[in-house]
Amino acid sequence: MKPKKRASFTILCLAVGTLLAGEPSSSPVFILLSPPKPDEVVAFANDMMMQYSTGEVFVAMPKENVLEFLKKGEIRPCDKENDKLIEIADLTLPEKIMNLPNVLAEKKGSQDVKGGRGYFNSLIRAEGVLVTKHGKIIFWKLWNDRVLRLRDETNGSCLLVLGETTIPASQYLKPFWDFTGADEPEKYLYGKLPCPKRADIFAFCNRPEGECPNEIRYPISKERIYKFLDHGTSDASLSAGGRISGLVIQPPHLSDSTKRNIEDAEMRGVSPKELAVADGVMATNDGRIMFWRLCSDFALKLIDEKHRTCMLRLGKVVEEAGEPWHVLFNVGSKTYESSITRNTVMRSPNWTPPQPPPLSSERAVQIAWQELSKIEKSKEMTAWRVHDIETATLYGTGYRKWYYKISLTKPADLEDTNILQGLAPAGCHGEAVIFVSMDGSPGKLIPR
């Protein structure tokens, strides 16, 4: 069994060069990024939104050491020499990190294996962003003691390589988890980040593609995020289960790699909406950096380098009452939010299954149809079909209060080849969800 494990490990190590480069493995396009001068950097932060993979260790890197690369590093392109530069040096760690059992095990397993040095270095996540006085946001990533990679939103990139006598990273890297408030985040961190205003923002960008294999990355416009800053309501409960449903609204312009990954997901029977990621960085006029992530079409998370968070929600905040209470859907080119309040359900009659419900499913569908007709053209109504009828109970009522969730779909026109080939946003022909309480009261439909 051991030879098989070693063979698999070797294959993984050989793939590290491509992953660290952050470029697709097929037909890569390298755009040389011109790095800023150290005195042009006006804001700096370690990354607060890194996606975690098993075995990885997060570390923090001081600003002055990143600036040292900008000052003294030799500029190299991200190209076919990547594999050599990944292996050019170790990424050394302070004893406090190196002596962790999982780190020692990975270090031992990577020794005497082809590509093992690059593989171990890739498990150490020292990453962040810097912002220039011109408003350009650049993502940095430490490959090893001598190599720092820079990338921007347009996938411009370069490597900065220091000489052999450079200071070992073990002398300046710090544990990422060692910060103020870590022991009591609910008291000191969660919901403690003041929400910035639109006028406060100096720079904005999306995170570059290609860091994670098969990722479906949605590029989000600055105005869409600003809508949260202008009209969002702070709601810490959005981080609780059952309140965030993923991204439904697909941006109009997707990269070729994201389109391929969407096709791959659909072939595997996985909904692209469940895999979509949208996040990036904002910098304020006073030099603060905030990482943003669109958790759903109506929920935005902000976090700063002090680990303080802010959750913003678009639309009226209603009391938690079971999932789903907020659903976004498309009818034509318009997006709607469907919701129902706890009070609406509480006013309805009790129901104890398996007794007949106070409101029949046939009547619930009729009511849903009437609500749909308020937002859909009359000549298009005949194309809609009932996709699903679901009953759900109101949490905390002892299974006495119930409501309907009616799902309606409008099939794609068979002659619309763009839809069938996946070139148009999913659901642009229509997919509606309408809530109906057991006394016949419909939920709300609000345009977004």
Cis bond upstream, residue 354 (ω within 30): yes
Q: Are residues 159 and 238 in the same domain?
A: no
Q: Are residues 310 and 343 in the same domain?
A: no
pLDDT at 425: 37
Q: Are residues 340 and 359 in the same domain?
A: yes
For residue 293, count other CB atoms closer than 10 A to its CB.
17
Give the CA angle between residues 73, 129, 217 to the nearest 5°.
Answer: 120
Last residue of a domain, one of 144, 161, 178: 178
Q: Are residues 328 and 436 in the same domain?
A: yes
For the record, the structure tokens of 280 come out as 């990036």
Q: Are residues 231 and 256 in the same domain?
A: yes
Q: Are residues 171 and 52 in the same domain?
A: yes
**What are the tens digits of pLDDT across the range 95-125?**
999 999 989 999 999 888 888 999 999 999 9
On whether the CB atoms of residues 75 and 35 are closer than 8 A, the answer is yes
Domain interval for residue 77 = 2-178
pLDDT at 326: 67
Q: Are residues 163 and 36 in the same domain?
A: yes
With bands split at pLDDT 50, 70 and 90, how would you rate the model's confidence at 419?
very low
**What are the tens digits of pLDDT across the range 281-338?**
999 999 999 999 998 777 899 999 999 999 998 764 433 334 446 677 877 778 888 8
Q: Are residues 119 and 196 in the same domain?
A: no
More confident residue, 177 or 360: 360
Q: Are residues 23 and 146 in the same domain?
A: yes
Q: How far apart are CA 299 and CA 158, in angstroms?
A: 34
Phi-psi region of 332 (alpha: psi -120 to 50; beta: other; left: phi over 0): left
Dihedral of CA 287/293/294/298: which sign?
A: negative
Q: How far apart are CA 22 and CA 256, in angstroms?
A: 15
Statement: residue 206 has pLDDT above 70: yes
Write the CB contacts of 31 (distance below 8 Å, at least 6 apart in sequence): 154, 155, 156, 157
Beta strands 31-32 and 74-76, pairing class? unpaired
Q: Are residues 304 and 357 in the same domain?
A: no
Dihedral of CA 227/229/231/235: which sign?
A: positive
pLDDT at 76: 95
Q: Are residues 345 and 371 in the same domain?
A: yes
Q: Are residues 107 and 215 in the same domain?
A: no
- On the 0-12 / 13-18 / 19+ scale of CB atoms within 10 A, 4 is exposed
Last residue of a domain, one of 140, 162, 178: 178
Q: How far apart are CA 448 and CA 443, in angstroms?
A: 16
Last residue of a domain, one of 154, 178, 202: 178
Total domain count for the chain? Answer: 3
Report the pLDDT averaged over residues 135-148. 97
136-140, 249-253, 401-405, range with greatest mean pLDDT:
136-140
With bands split at pLDDT 50, 70 and 90, how would you rate the model's confidence at 414?
very low
On whether the CB atoms of residues 281 and 138 are closer than 8 A, the answer is no
